[in-house]
Every structure is written in structure tokens, then in C-alpha cells.
């Protein structure tokens, strides 16, 4: 057997038997179960609404929304706005009046948030002591004095960890598919392809954190220092995402300019004391400004946070919107945010390749980050004096 | 079998090992002694391919270690200082894992491991290595070093943590390996241990080799001025002796230990007889390795 496979086999067994892995794995399975189960309820509700549109369209807020959109279209036509912006509004209206049949992928969409946070913890937890633990315990001396190249050791450790991650993720995915099928929904070929692509993306995402944690393990002198650095980096990424949002708000404001003058007193509903949403939405100048501002802010924030694997996979603040996971599991284009801070549905269907193309930069960033982290681990381990 | 040419290792500009030239012939058991921080572990690390030298070369079986690391590692056995095992595995599982890297087939590996565990007194111990005492781990370490039946064995402080029984067992194993013609290079702080096991010695201090060769050679070469330890025992109180060659003398009731720059046994005999005493013992004590070591490293301090 090749030396890297000997190391990988041992690492795989060790991971599967480790309490740390088992605890995270159990949490992952429970959250997957919860996510899919609740996702199935939401899916069934949407299916009912699709079969019986009157259930939704008779709701007062929906009537108000549709009326507002119709008015916006009329105003836009009257102003002579560009055909694209008018078509966008029409698409929005169409998505409410003729919603597409819900996809089973929406069930998996609910898992993106869990995978974003648990995948990060799982990958980091498996990597932070890969080298340093053996260094601390002294077993690295025996391992390195064995007739194998050092790269075989690091390759073996990586293969073992990625295999373990793949098994953990596959178990969560199979559980999800099993629940979906038990509830009477059979995914189509495109759905299965997207689920498979999502699995690969989730594995890549976990591997990025594994690689970063392993890099910490190789460059630091002890496991405790490696833990501090790994946790520090994760916290830094979260703080960075929040800061990026604040900074992008200022930048967007500077680019778009000040808000149009508006009578804020008229916006208040005197009887309830709350904001009068229809009044805001009917103010097309303010709506245009707000949509532009939020879209710019989101775009800038998205660009800045591309360096963060959490944002790349999990989207905006790791909450799913605009990330790789969301793009793969959506048969419609990745959407921008509107004033109401909810996703504006689109009826336009795109292929899996188009979905992947829409987030190719983020995929590339994940791959580059993984490769760089592995390269640093390699160099540090190769040059390491084992004393 | 083991040869270094100006082998050097520097950390941050400070030379831990400074251009050392060591030569160990096939079948020799060489004791590598030196004070703490002298560069023993770093030297062994470079000889076994664990540490990259800053300069110079190191050869094992005429193969340069940095150019043929796998072939060298295949030929050597190494018991490092401060080593560890996988604590969640048994001794058998640990050794089986390492045996795979040497390409040992399973039945062959099982037989070899059983034999080694028997030799080091760990046969039948089924508990996880995490529950082992330090001495047990040291014995297992020795078994690991001998796993591939190596031609050249490097041992770094091998008797650390061993109880007297373990030390005796260790000597037995080393002597058995030496009898098979294996070349053994081991560092130790225990000079008595080195004297018991080794036929050659290499003294290192501040990264430089101070002396190397057989024990007798080293003693002769390192003796800056002749020194004689003479033990005298008489039937009554030992009289004080006066001679310009006496360097130091310790008297007790009926005996004395004289350190002198010449062999004063005739002079002492005459003095004792002249004092009307009867001589019970008069002998020249061989210079110990400890004396040689202290003389070499600390200038006799």
C-alpha cells in the first residue's frame, strides 16, 4: 500500500472514532434532519399555494403588493423608463401572480445555513491539531523517521480528513434525500445534479477550513496556539463580514448620493404609529433610490467579503443569500435584495452550469484559498525541524 | 558506517553543532556524551534525517542522508528523546502501523512485533499506550527502533525513565544487537551506562567534538597531564604524606586517597613502613570515564 494511503487509513479511523468528530457529526445530522423536516413543511405549503393560488392572492398584503407593482409599471411606462427596468418589474409581478412550481431544492436550501456554520466548525476542528498534536505528543518523531517522504504524511492526513468530511456530508445528504422521499417527493434528474453539485461545494467549503486549520497546525509551535489562531481567524472572518457591510453602506451612499427629499411625517400611519408601507412603495423616486442604494451596498459588501469563505459559500453574512450554496440550489438567477430585504422571486429558469457560472468567482476564491493554505502547510512541514 | 563531514546546524546564527567530523565503523557501539545543550540531539536528528543541516554532510552506510533519506531511513532504527506514541492504540497496533512503512507483510510483521515485545518485556500487555508508565513507553520505543531489524541504530537517551530492571533489559538488548554486528550510536547522560555498553566514545561540548575513539584512546589523548589516583589502607592512623608530586590527598582514619602527578606507590610504601605501620592495601585506581568527561568538557572542574 502507498505510504499516503497507510497514513490516510489511520487518520480516517482516528477521525471516525474521535469524540470531537462524533459530537459535531451528531449535531450536523440533527440539524440536517430538522432543516429538511421544516423545509418539507415549507415546501408542502408552497405546493398548496401553487395548486391553489387564491390562497395567497386573496390575502390583503398580497393585493396591496400586486397593486403597488402594477402602479410602478404604469409610472415607469409613463416616465419612459428603460425596457429592462420595466421588464424587471413585470417579472416581479408575474412571480407573484403566476408563481413557479416550488422545487424540492428549496428543502435543501434550508440546510445552507447549517452547513455554512457547522461545515466551518467541522473542517476547522479536524485540522487544527493535524500536525501540532503529533508534534506535542512526540509521535511525529517516529513517523518522520519512518521510510516515507514528508509529503506522503501530509497528503495522507489530507486524504484521511477529506474522506471523513465526505462521509459526514454524504450521511447528512442521504438522510435529507431519504426524508424527502419518505414524504412522497421524488427529486428529478436536474434536482439530483444540483444536490450533487451542492455536496461537492459543501465539501470544498469544509476542506477550505480544514486546510486553513491544518496550516495553523503546521506553522504554530503547539496545539493550543494553533487553536487560538484558528478560532481567531474564524472570529476575524465574522467581524470582517460585519465591518464590510458597514463600510459598504458608506461607500454605496457616497456613490449613489443623498436620498431624495421626502415627507417622512406622511409616511407614518397615525392610527397604528407604524410606517405606511404602501405609501413608501408608491413613492417611485424614493423606491428607485432605495433599491439602487441597497443593491450597491450589497454588491460592494459582496465584493469585499469574497475573501471570506463563509460569505462565498453561505452568502450574505453566511445566511444563505447570494452564496454558492444558494446559487446551486436555485433554478432561478441569484437575486439581489430589494427595499423590503426579502428575496425578489424570479420566474426565469437557468441551468446548473449557468448557476455555477454566476458564482464562479466565489468558487475560484475557495479553490485558491484551499490551495494556498495547503501550500503553506506543505512548505512549513517540509522545512520543519523535528526536535 | 556513520560519517559526518563538517556537519553544522545553526539556529538564528548560533551554531548548535559546529562543523563536526564523526566516524563510526561497522559493529561499533559508540556512546555520544556531552552536557545538556551540547548538540547531541541535533546531531542525531541530522544523522536520521529529521533535521536539515545548515552545512556539511552526513553519511550512513555511505549514503548521504539528505540525498537518500528513504534508503537511509530504511536502514536505520531510531529511538528519539521525548518521543511519543498514539495513545489511543495498543503497543501492537502502534508497531503494526509503523511496520507498514517498512513493507513488512502482515504475518512477518506480527511475528517480528511479538518477538520484540517479548524482548522488551511488554508481551501480553493489551492496554492502550496512553495508560503506559514512562518506563513502559521507553521499552516500547526501543521495540519501535528495532522494528525493521536495522543495521544502524540511533538511540537518544535510551535509559531515560527506565527502572533498574529496565536498564538491565536494555543493556541485554543492546549487547545482543551489538553481537549481531549492528552499529549502535547512542547518547546518554549516564556515563556509567556508556562505559557498560560502548566500545567507543564521542564527547561533544558546545557543538564541537572534543574527543572520539575507544575509551582508552580518549583517556590517553585527553589526559593533559598525567594523573594518578592511589588508594592506601593501613592498620592504624594514616600519616600525612609530603611530596611535591601530590596534587590532592584525602585522609581518613586508616586510609587515604592520593591524587598525584606521578606514580608514588613506592614512596608511599616506604613512608608507611618507616612509620611502623602495616600496609593493608596499596593500589593505583584507573581513571574513570567521569574523570575523562569532566577533564574534557570542564577542564577537570
Q: What is the pTM of this model?
A: 0.80
Q: What is the pLDDT of residue A85?
A: 78
Which chain A residues have any C-beta within 8 angstroms of a chain B C-beta? 1, 3, 6, 10, 14, 17, 137-139, 141-149, 383, 385-387
Antiparallel, parallel or unpaired: β B246-252 and B76-79: unpaired
Range of the structural domain that residue A302 is part of: 3-53+99-383
Among B129-133, B147-151, B293-297, which is the least confidently predicted range?
B293-297
Among A158-167, A346-355, B100-109, B216-225, which is the least confidently predicted range?
B216-225
Q: Which residues lie below 8 Å from residue A156, measured CB to CB, with a gap of 6+? A: A3, A4, A5, A6, A7, A8, A10, A11
Whether the CB-CB separation of B81 and B36 falls below 8 Å is answered with: no
Q: What is the pLDDT of residue A272?
A: 61
pLDDT digits (tens, 9 = 90+) for A153-166: 999 999 999 999 99
Query: For residue B132, is pLDDT > 80?
Result: yes
Q: What is the pLDDT of residue A269?
A: 62
Distances (CA, A) of A329 to A128, A188, A308, A343: 31, 13, 20, 14
H-helix or E-strand spanning residue A87: helix A83-97
H-helix or E-strand spanning residue A305: none
User: How does residue B224 score in pLDDT terms, banded at 50, 70 and 90?
Assistant: low
Whether the CB-CB separation of B137 and B81 falls below 8 Å is answered with: no
| Rounded Cα–Cα distance for residues A45 and A237 (Å) | 36
Q: What is the pLDDT of residue A337?
A: 46
User: How does residue A291 score in pLDDT terms, banded at 50, 70 and 90?
Assistant: confident
| C-alpha cell recorded at residue B263 | 606514580
Whether the CB-CB separation of A148 and B101 falls below 8 Å is answered with: yes
Instruction: Residue B185: name the closest of B102, B82, B69, B76 by CA.
Output: B76
Radius of gyration of chain B (CA): 24
Query: For residue B128, is pLDDT > 90?
Result: yes
Query: For residue A117, is pLDDT > 80?
Result: yes
Q: Which residues lie below 8 Å from residue B11, measured CB to CB, with a gap of 6+? A: none
Contact flag A146-B45 (C-beta cutoff 8 Å): no
Q: What is the pLDDT of residue A344?
A: 53
Whether the CB-CB separation of A57 and A93 falls below 8 Å is answered with: no
Q: What is the pLDDT of residue A244?
A: 82
Q: Say if A144 falls within a structural domain.
A: yes
* Structure-model confidence comparison of residues A53 and A147, the more confident one: A147
- Which residue in the set A10, A137, A387 is minimally distant from B97, CB to CB? A10
Report the b/e string of A357-373 with b at 16+ CB within 10 A: ebbeebbebbeebbeeb
Q: Say if A78 falls within a structural domain.
A: no
Contact flag A141-B87 (C-beta cutoff 8 Å): no
Antiparallel, parallel or unpaired: β B29-33 and B183-187: parallel
Among A68-72, A193-197, A276-280, which is the least confidently predicted range?
A276-280
pLDDT digits (tens, 9 = 90+) for A100-110: 777 888 888 87
| Rounded Cα–Cα distance for residues A215 and A174 (Å) | 31
Q: What is the pLDDT of residue B300?
A: 53
User: In whole numbers, what is the pLDDT of chain A averaged over residues?
Assistant: 83
Q: What is the pLDDT of residue B6?
A: 92
Q: Say if A69 falls within a structural domain.
A: no
Query: For residue B106, is pLDDT > 50?
Result: yes
Q: Say if A162 falls within a structural domain.
A: yes
* Structure-model confidence comparison of residues A253 and A224, the more confident one: A224
Mean predicted confidence (pLDDT) in B202-221: 84
Length of chain A: 387
Mean predicted confidence (pLDDT) in B254-269: 89
Fold of B2-222: Rossmann fold (3.40.50)
Whether the CB-CB separation of A247 and A304 falls below 8 Å is answered with: yes
Mean predicted confidence (pLDDT) in A183-189: 85
H-helix or E-strand spanning residue A20: helix A19-51
- Which residue in the set B87, B97, B100 is minimally distant from A137, CB to CB? B87
Antiparallel, parallel or unpaired: β B76-79 and B208-214: unpaired
Antiparallel, parallel or unpaired: β B246-252 and B14-20: unpaired
Q: What is the pLDDT of residue A290?
A: 79
User: How does residue B120 score in pLDDT terms, banded at 50, 70 and 90?
Assistant: confident
Q: What is the pLDDT of residue B65?
A: 92
- Which residue in the set A17, A146, A385 is minimally distant from B45, CB to CB? A385
Strand partners, B76: B152
A10: left (phi over 0), alpha (psi -120 to 50) or beta: alpha
Mean predicted confidence (pLDDT) in A339-343: 43
In a 13 Å sphere around the CA of A109, the CA atoms on its Cβ side amount to: 23
User: In whole numbers, what is the pLDDT of chain B averaged over residues?
Assistant: 87
A146: left (phi over 0), alpha (psi -120 to 50) or beta: beta
Mean predicted confidence (pLDDT) in B99-103: 92
Nearest-5° Cα angle at A154, A148 to A156: 75
Query: For residue B158, is pLDDT > 70?
Result: yes
Counting residues of chain A whose pLDDT is more than 90, the rounded percentage is 31
A376: left (phi over 0), alpha (psi -120 to 50) or beta: alpha
Query: For residue A340, is pLDDT > 50?
Result: no
Scanning A283-351, the segments in alpha helix (DSSP H) are 284-304, 309-314, 324-328
Whether the CB-CB separation of A40 and A179 falls below 8 Å is answered with: yes
| C-alpha cell recorded at residue B268 | 608511599
pLDDT digits (tens, 9 = 90+) for B173-193: 888 888 898 999 989 877 778
* Number of compact structural domains in chain A: 1
Residues of B in contact with A152 (CB under 8 A): none
Q: What is the pLDDT of residue B125?
A: 87
Query: For residue B32, is pLDDT > 60?
Result: yes
Q: What is the pLDDT of residue A341?
A: 43
Q: Say if A196 falls within a structural domain.
A: yes
Fold of B228-298: Alpha-Beta Plaits (3.30.70)
Q: Which residues lie below 8 Å from residue B264, measured CB to CB, with a gap of 6+? A: B228, B230, B241, B243, B245, B246, B258
Query: For residue B226, is pLDDT > 70?
Result: no
Chain A interface mutation, best of B47, B80, B102, highest count of A Cβ atoms under 10 Å: B80
Mean predicted confidence (pLDDT) in B208-215: 86
Which chain B residues have any C-beta within 8 angstroms of a chain A C-beta? 41-42, 45, 48-52, 69-71, 73-74, 76, 78, 80, 82-88, 97-98, 100-102, 144
User: Dihedral sign, CA of A47, A51, A52, A53?
Assistant: positive
- Which residue in the set B83, B85, B101 is minimally distant from A148, CB to CB? B101
pLDDT digits (tens, 9 = 90+) for B58-86: 999 999 998 999 999 999 999 998 888 99
Q: Say if A256 falls within a structural domain.
A: yes
Spans of all domains in chain B: 2-222, 228-298
Give the residue on B whose Cα is nearest the Cα of A133. Answer: B86
Coil/strand/helix, residue B134: helix
B2 CA: distance to closest CA in chain A (Å): 17
Counting residues of chain B whose pLDDT is more than 90, the rounded percentage is 41
Among A1-15, B202-216, B286-300, which is the least confidently predicted range?
B286-300
* Structure-model confidence comparison of residues A322 and B130, the more confident one: B130
* Structure-model confidence comparison of residues B101 and A54, the more confident one: B101
User: How does residue A124 score in pLDDT terms, banded at 50, 70 and 90?
Assistant: very high
Query: For residue A339, is pLDDT > 60?
Result: no
Amino acid at each position: 500500500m502507498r505510504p499516503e494511503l497507510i497514513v490516510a487509513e489511520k487518520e480516517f479511523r482516528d477521525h471516525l472514532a474521535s469524540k470531537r468528530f462524533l459530537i459535531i457529526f451528531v449535531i450536523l445530522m440533527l440539524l440536517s434532519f430538522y432543516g429538511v423536516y421544516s423545509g418539507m413543511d415549507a415546501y408542502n405549503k408552497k405546493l398548496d399555494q401553487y395548486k391553489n393560488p387564491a390562497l395567497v392572492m386573496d390575502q390583503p398584503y398580497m393585493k396591496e403588493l400586486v397593486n403597488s407593482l402594477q402602479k410602478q409599471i404604469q409610472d415607469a411606462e409613463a416616465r419612459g423608463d428603460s425596457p429592462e427596468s420595466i421588464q424587471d418589474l413585470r417579472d416581479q409581478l408575474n412571480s407573484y401572480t403566476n408563481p413557479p412550481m416550488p422545487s424540492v431544492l428549496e428543502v435543501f436550501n434550508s440546510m445552507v445555513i447549517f452547513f455554512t456554520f457547522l461545515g466551518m466548525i467541522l473542517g476547522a476542528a479536524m485540522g487544527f491539531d493535524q500536525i501540532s498534536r503529533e508534534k506535542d505528543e512526540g509521535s511525529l518523531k517516529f513517523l518522520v523517521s519512518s521510510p516515507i517522504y514528508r509529503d506522503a504524511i501530509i497528503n495522507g492526513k489530507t486524504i484521511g480528513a477529506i474522506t471523513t468530511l465526505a462521509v459526514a456530508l454524504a450521511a447528512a445528504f442521504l438522510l435529507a434525500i431519504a426524508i424527502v422521499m419518505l414524504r412522497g417527493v421524488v427529486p428529478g434528474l436536474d434536482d439530483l445534479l444540483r444536490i450533487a453539485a451542492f455536496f461537492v461545494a459543501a465539501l470544498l467549503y469544509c476542506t477550505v477550513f480544514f486546510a486553513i486549520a491544518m496550516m495553523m497546525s503546521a506553522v504554530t509551535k503547539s496545539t493550543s496556539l494553533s487553536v487560538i489562531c484558528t478560532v481567531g481567524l474564524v472570529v476575524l472572518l465574522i467581524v470582517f463580514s460585519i465591518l464590510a457591510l458597514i463600510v459598504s453602506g458608506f461607500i454605496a451612499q457616497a456613490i449613489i448620493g443623498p436620498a431624495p427629499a421626502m415627507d417622512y411625517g406622511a409616511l407614518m400611519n397615525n392610527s397604528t404609529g407604524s410606517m405606511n408601507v404602501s405609501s413608501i412603495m408608491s413613492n417611485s423616486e424614493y423606491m428607485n433610490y432605495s433599491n439602487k442604494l441597497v443593491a450597491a451596498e450589497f454588491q460592494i459588501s459582496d465584493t469585499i467579503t469574497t475573501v471570506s469563505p463563509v460569505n462565498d459559500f453561505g452568502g450574505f453574512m453566511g445566511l444563505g443569500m447570494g452564496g454558492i450554496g444558494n446559487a446551486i440550489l436555485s433554478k432561478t438567477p441569484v437575486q439581489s435584495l430589494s427595499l423590503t430585504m426579502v428575496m425578489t422571486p424570479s420566474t426565469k429558469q437557468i441551468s446548473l452550469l449557468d448557476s455555477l457560472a454566476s458564482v464562479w468567482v466565489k468558487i475560484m476564491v475557495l479553490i485558491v484559498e484551499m490551495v494556498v493554505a495547503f501550500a503553506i502547510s506543505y512548505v512549513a512541514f517540509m522545512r520543519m525541524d523535528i526536535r | 558506517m556513520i560519517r559526518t563531514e563538517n556537519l553544522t546546524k545553526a539556529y538564528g546564527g548560533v551554531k548548535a553543532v559546529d562543523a563536526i567530523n564523526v566516524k563510526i565503523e561497522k559493529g561499533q557501539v559508540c556512546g555520544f556524551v556531552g552536557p545538556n545543550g551540547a548538540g547531541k540531539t541535533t546531531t542525531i536528528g541530522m544523522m536520521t534525517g529529521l533535521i536539515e543541516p545548515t552545512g556539511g554532510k552526513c553519511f550512513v552506510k555511505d549514503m548521504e542522508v539528505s540525498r537518500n533519506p528513504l534508503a537511509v531511513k530504511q536502514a536505520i532504527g531510531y529511538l528519539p528523546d521525548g518521543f511519543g506514541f498514539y495513545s489511543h492504540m495498543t503497543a501492537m497496533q502502534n508497531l503494526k502501523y509503523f511496520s507498514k512503512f517498512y513493507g513488512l507483510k502482515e504475518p512477518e510483521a506480527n511475528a517480528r512485533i511479538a518477538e520484540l515485545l517479548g524482548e522488551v518485556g511488554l508481551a501480553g500487555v493489551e492496554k492502550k499506550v496512553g495508560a503506559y508508565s514512562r518506563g513502559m513507553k521507553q521499552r516500547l520505543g526501543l521495540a519501535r527502533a528495532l522494528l525493521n531489524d536495522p543495521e544502524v541504530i540511533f538511540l537518544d537517551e535510551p535509559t531515560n525513565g527506565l527502572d533498574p530492571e529496565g536498564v538491565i533489559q536494555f543493556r541485554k538488548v543492546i549487547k545482543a544487537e551489538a553481537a549481531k554486528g549492528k552499529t549502535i550510536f547512542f547518547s546518554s547522560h549516564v556515563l556509567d551506562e556508556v562505559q557498560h555498553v560502548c566500545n567507543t566514545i564521542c564527547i561533544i561540548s558546545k557543538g564541537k567534538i572534543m574527543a572520539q575513539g575507544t575509551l582508552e584512546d580518549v583517556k590517553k589523548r585527553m589526559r593533559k597531564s598525567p594523573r594518578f589516583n592511589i588508594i592506601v589502607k593501613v592498620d592504624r592512623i594514616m600519616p600525612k604524606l609530603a611530596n611535591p608530586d601530590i596534587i590532592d590527598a584525602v585522609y581518613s582514619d586508616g586510609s587515604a586517597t592520593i591524587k598525584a602527578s606521578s606514580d608514588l606507590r613506592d614512596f608511599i610504601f616506604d613512608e608507611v613502613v618507616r612509620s611502623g605501620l602495616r600496609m593493608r592495601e596499596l593500589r593505583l585506581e584507573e581513571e574513570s570515564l567521569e574523570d575523562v568527561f569532566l577533564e574534557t568538557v570542564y577542564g577537570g572542574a
